[in-house]
């Protein structure tokens, strides 16, 4: 009887500790809207111009995308004005894949010498700031965000 009580108390404590950790580490779901600036850059090898970048800068009047595709020099990056429908798609991607949870991600695999990297930053007019980077390590949903941005932005050009 005494053994069962001890086991019950230990199991109860473990459950409470796990719940507390989840509660305090929970990032509230953030809906991304009203983007002021976003930069997403990633590498795909180490050849010349083996990187891709998307940068969105919004003023009160318009949002401009600067897109540097793979294999193209930075000085040859393409620019395009984004309409509100496209900006809504960008915000939906960021919200859908919970990119706000990326904030503070800064990991790397020290065992890889010639790997790929990424960096992401976002500022909204509502004072949301998100920054993440990695080298051969990526935050949750990174592949989905990258694929959807590639598809969306490449279709514009």
pLDDT at res. 114: 87
pLDDT at res. 1: 67
C-beta neighbour count of 17 within 10 angstroms: 10
pLDDT at res. 12: 60
Each residue's pLDDT tens digit, 9-47: 666 667 766 555 555 554 557 888 889 999 999 999 888
Name the pTM for this structure.
Answer: 0.79
pLDDT > 80? residue 81: yes
Tokens 């990526």 sit at which residue? 138
Tokens 């003023």 sit at which residue? 59
pLDDT > 80? residue 93: yes
**Nearest Cα to 40, choosing from 151, 146, 152?**
146
* Distance between CA atoms of residues 22 and 92, nearest Å: 26
- Residue 41: φ, ψ to 5°: -135, 135
């Amino acid at each position: 009887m005494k053994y069962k009580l001890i086991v019950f108390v230990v199991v109860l404590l473990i459950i409470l500790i796990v719940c507390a950790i989840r509660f305090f580490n929970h990032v509230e779901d953030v809906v991304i809207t009203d983007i002021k600036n976003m930069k997403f850059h990633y590498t795909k090898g180490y050849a010349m111009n083996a990187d891709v970048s998307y940068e969105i800068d919004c003023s009160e009047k318009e949002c401009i995308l600067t897109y540097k595709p793979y294999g193209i020099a930075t000085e040859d990056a393409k620019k395009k004005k984004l309409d509100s429908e496209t900006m809504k798609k960008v915000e939906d991607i960021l919200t859908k894949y919970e990119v706000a949870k990326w904030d503070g991600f800064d990991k790397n695999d020290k065992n890889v010498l010639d790997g790929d990297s990424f960096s992401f930053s976002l500022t909204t007019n509502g004072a949301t700031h998100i920054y993440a980077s990695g080298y051969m390590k990526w935050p949750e949903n990174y592949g989905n965000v990258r694929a959807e941005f590639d598809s969306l932005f490449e279709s514009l050009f």
